[in-house]
Chains A and B, each alone.
Chain A
Amino acid sequence: MSEFFYLIPISLVLGAAGLVVFLWTLRDGQYDDLDGAAERILYEEDAPRPDRPSR
């Protein structure tokens, strides 16, 4: 079994990458308006999000 040990750091690194990405999206304010995001996709004009709301 010990020959598969190299998989453990790989899985941990991948998990940690996921964690970092989540924390980044949180910081970026992507969860600020979940209801709005669900509705906006239904409309044609797709204006980019004005650079980060209020910091």
Chain B
Amino acid sequence: MSCCVPPPAFIEALAGPQRVGPAREEILLASRQVDAGMRQTDLSVPSIHCGACVQAIEKALGTMDGVENVRANLSTRRVAVRWREGGAPPPMFEALARLGYEANLHEDAEDGRDPALGALIRAMAVAAFASMNIMMLSGSVWSGADGPTRDVLHWICAGLTLPTLLYSGRIFYVSAWQALRHGRANMDVPITVGVMLAFALSVYDTLHSGAEVYYDATVSLLFFLLIGRTLDHVMRERARTAVKGLARLAPRGALVEHADGTREYLALREIEPGMTILLAAGERVPVDATVIGGSSDLDRSLVSGESAPVSIGPGARLEAGTLNLTGPLIVRAEAGERDSTLAELMRLVETAEGGRNRYRRLADRVAGYYAPVVHLAALATFLGWVAVNGDLHNATTIAIAVLIITCPCALGLAVPMVQVVAARRLFDAGIMVKDGSALERLAETDCVVFDKTGTLTTGEARLANTGDIAATDLMLAAGLAVHSRHPHSRAIAVAAGKARTATFTDMREVPGAGIEGRFDGARYRLGRAEWALDHNDTSAGTVLSRDGELLARFEISDTLRAGAKAAIDALAAQGLSVEIVSGDAAPNVEAVGERLGIADRAAGVLPGGKSARLAALAAAGRKPLMVGDGLNDAPALTAAHVSMAPGSAADVGRSAADFVFLHADLTAVPQAIAIARQAAWLVRQNLVLSLFYNAVALPVAVAGLVNPFLAAVAMSASSVVVVANALRLGWRAPGRDVNANPVAVEVSP
């Protein structure tokens, strides 16, 4: 399938009057100055996924007026556009939409570089350089160099090791120190102790022309561990950059009308209660506000989970983050940015996050037992050898050999390596994972709680009774509908497809009621029954009328997300129980539950109720996976054992969730669980492998039979085995691997 064909619904949306992308002022506000007279805008375009996409985007944007240069990044799915200051920002969003790419402004908080990753890679490069050279020099010692030659080689090794330990080892010392200060032991404590003692002993032996030094083991230990650390970091970063900034819920600012009638676009934080804000149709409400002029329909689905828009007029209260659909509004700000509904929900999420941190990662749990055992073993060895022959130097050497050979080198790679490979597999399937602990938690999950609007369903309305409506009526309705951004109108326009020919005159949209126009001398109305029909009819739903006479009724229903049924069946096959907890009205929830065969369902649940439900499940010893998208789901996503959100979710929801799936297909959920379970199995294998290695090596070391050569070989070999085992997860072609998962794994973009 060609990847660069825009989806039909998207073209449809373009044909309508909807503005594509954020307001110019918002683009300007989000851009940053790079050089004199030059600004850069970073766009997140999640659907870039081949070289042709990169070419098409760079060509289309690069030829626009005012654009200096464009660089599309395929790895991070971002586009950096530099444009000349002075005029308005170039219409990048429109150009991208014409190509079929949906773009979003990227967060401007950081400049796309990750200092922590840079530091890790530099540390790793230095360790790699030092360990290779030391290995080379050690090779000649092992093959028989002795006397002054050996001493010179040892001194060169010492000279290479010291800066490496200082530069590359810092990461471990800092982490170990922090753990010790909080009275805990993590993997870095035995590493730090082992590395420092080994180096001290080696320097002592070098000074006294000793035969056995451990420079090679120390440095290659750091090198292997840094590989694990870097992979761990890369995985988290990759997910973070791909997920961040897909869509912002709150605009960056709003058009404010001052008392003297002047208008100014102010950043969100500068908006104060009492200010008058002009809100165009299609904009999100920036702060909590009250309507003082105009009427419109309000899409509250991200905030409350209700799928049907609400009509509003003067006096109505608006929550920040809701979407103004049909008419321009004049509103008065009731709260600043910090006191708005959005900020309130963010605080709820932060509170719930405290609970999440209680989960300890498997590697840390293992380290908790591992560190004391290793240290006690080394101490016992030392005391034992002192008791046996009273030779302090010999006892110290052997005790340090114990520390070095048991240093958790393979253990440090065992978990991150598997998780990186698993994250790569998930990434290929369009699923982002936030960190390794999320993978561990997902593998443990035993029940799945779904939100309805936007998760099981797409949140987009669809015409349900296309077959019952005469073609001419549908054509007429579509002719009107294409001029409105109300979701019901969009559904009718999409259902009619390209067949519409009716061209209306005297078009006018009545916010909260519908849209009317003239055609062939008759007045047509599309909208609420009570407004469109002359006789008193208060039935719900959308109707089309000619001069007040009923022509057709349109039944609008929520569309099920692609693969929803298959996903639910696959989850059941994986032995998970499934339930719906929705904020929407009962009939809508019942209908969706019936179609998907989900018996457990709760409707009309408030955000607090959702997290209470998850807390109840957790109290019953279950480990629930929450899948949700809305702002109202965010506390529940955080309260759950593990959580997933679709890429279309509110940014709060996305940042609260552990996993984000970018493709529309819901089969991503069972697929992610299958991969996580496989990864958990491999992690356990790896832990057993590396502990087995330690179990074999420990008695040998305690007996005093380890020499530096043996230590270096054993350590490297165990690491390689663990890495190779982790890579097995990547070998199997996607599609056959996912055990007991009947769902086709191919995910269409």
Interface residues, chain A, CB within 8 Å of chain B?
1-2, 5, 8, 11-12, 15-16, 18-19, 22-23, 26, 32-36, 38-40, 42-43, 45, 47, 49-50, 53-55
Contact = CB atoms under 8 A, between A and B. Distances in A.
Interface string B72-94: 11111000101000000000000
A45 to B, nearest CB: 8
A15 B73 contact: no
Contact of B34 (A23, A39, A54): A54
Contacts of A40: 51, 54
Nearest to A27: B118
B132 A23 contact: no
Interface stretch (B119-127, B389-397, B461-469, B587-595): B119-127
Interface in B25-77: 34, 40, 42, 50-51, 54-55, 58, 68-76
Nearest to B32: A54
A38 B76 CA distance: 14
B75 A34 contact: yes
A35 B74 contact: yes
25 contacts: A8-B137, A8-B156, A11-B136, A12-B133, A12-B160, A15-B129, A16-B129, A19-B126, A22-B125, A26-B125, A32-B75, A33-B73, A36-B51, A36-B54, A36-B73, A36-B74, A36-B75, A39-B50, A47-B58, A49-B71, A50-B68, A53-B80, A53-B112, A54-B40, A54-B80
B111 interface: yes
Nearest to B59: A45
B505 interface: no
Query: Ordered nearest first, which 5 A-B pairs have the shortest CB separation?
Result: A39-B51, A36-B74, A50-B69, A35-B74, A33-B73
Interface string B141-155: 000010011001000
Given A15-B133, A23-B122, A26-B125, 9 more contacts: A2-B148, A5-B152, A26-B118, A32-B75, A33-B75, A36-B72, A36-B75, A39-B74, A50-B82
Contacts of B58: 47
A50 B133 CA distance: 37
Contact of B111 (A16, A36, A55): A55
A54 B125 contact: no
B182 interface: no
B111 A43 contact: no
Contacts of B156: 8, 12
A49 B674 CA distance: 41
Contacts of B68: 50
B498 interface: no
A35 B160 CA distance: 35
Nearest to A48: B69
B226 to A, nearest CB: 14
Given A40-B51, A53-B80, A1 B145 contact: yes
A20 to B, nearest CB: 10
Contacts of A23: 122, 125
Nearest to B80: A53
A43 to B, nearest CB: 5
Contact of A19 (B50, B69, B129, B145): B129
Contacts of A49: 71
B113 interface: yes
A3 to B, nearest CB: 11
B270 to A, nearest CB: 26
Contacts of A45: 55
Contacts of B54: 36, 39-40
Contacts of A12: 133, 156, 160
Contacts of A47: 58
Interface residues of B, number: 38
A33 B54 CA distance: 12
A43 B75 contact: no
Interface in B131-175: 132-133, 136-137, 145, 148-149, 152, 156, 160
B111 A50 contact: no
B76 A2 contact: no
Nearest to B72: A36
Contacts of B42: 54
A14 to B, nearest CB: 10
A45 B56 CA distance: 12
A55 B110 CA distance: 10
Nearest to B132: A15
Contacts of B121: 26
Given A40-B51, A40-B54, A2 B74 contact: no
B131 to A, nearest CB: 11
A33 B75 CA distance: 5
A30 B112 CA distance: 14
Contacts of B113: 54-55
Nearest to B126: A19
A35 to B, nearest CB: 4
Contacts of B149: 1-2
Contacts of B50: 39
A12 B132 CA distance: 10
Contacts of A11: 133, 136
A52 to B, nearest CB: 10
A43 B51 contact: yes
B1 to A, nearest CB: 18
A54 B28 CA distance: 17
B108 to A, nearest CB: 11
B129 A18 contact: yes
A50 B61 CA distance: 14
A19 to B, nearest CB: 4
Contact of B75 (A1, A2, A35, A55): A35
A8 B282 CA distance: 70
Contacts of B129: 15-16, 18-19
Contacts of B71: 49-50, 53
Contacts of A1: 145, 149
A33 B79 CA distance: 11
A15 B113 CA distance: 27
A19 B51 contact: no
Contacts of B80: 53-54
Given A1-B149, A11-B133, A36-B75, A42 B51 contact: yes
A17 to B, nearest CB: 10
Nearest to B121: A26
Contacts of B132: 15
Output the residue of B55, B118, B126 with the most chain A CB within 10 A. B55
B112 A54 contact: yes
Contacts of A42: 51
Contacts of B73: 32-33, 36, 53
Output the residue of B118, B125, B126, B148 with the most chain A CB within 10 A. B125
Nearest to B113: A54
Nearest to A16: B129
Contacts of B122: 23, 26
A19 B75 contact: no
A47 B51 CA distance: 14
A33 B51 contact: no
A26 B111 CA distance: 16
A55 B35 CA distance: 11
A45 B40 CA distance: 23
A16 B125 CA distance: 10
A50 to B, nearest CB: 4
A22 B118 CA distance: 12
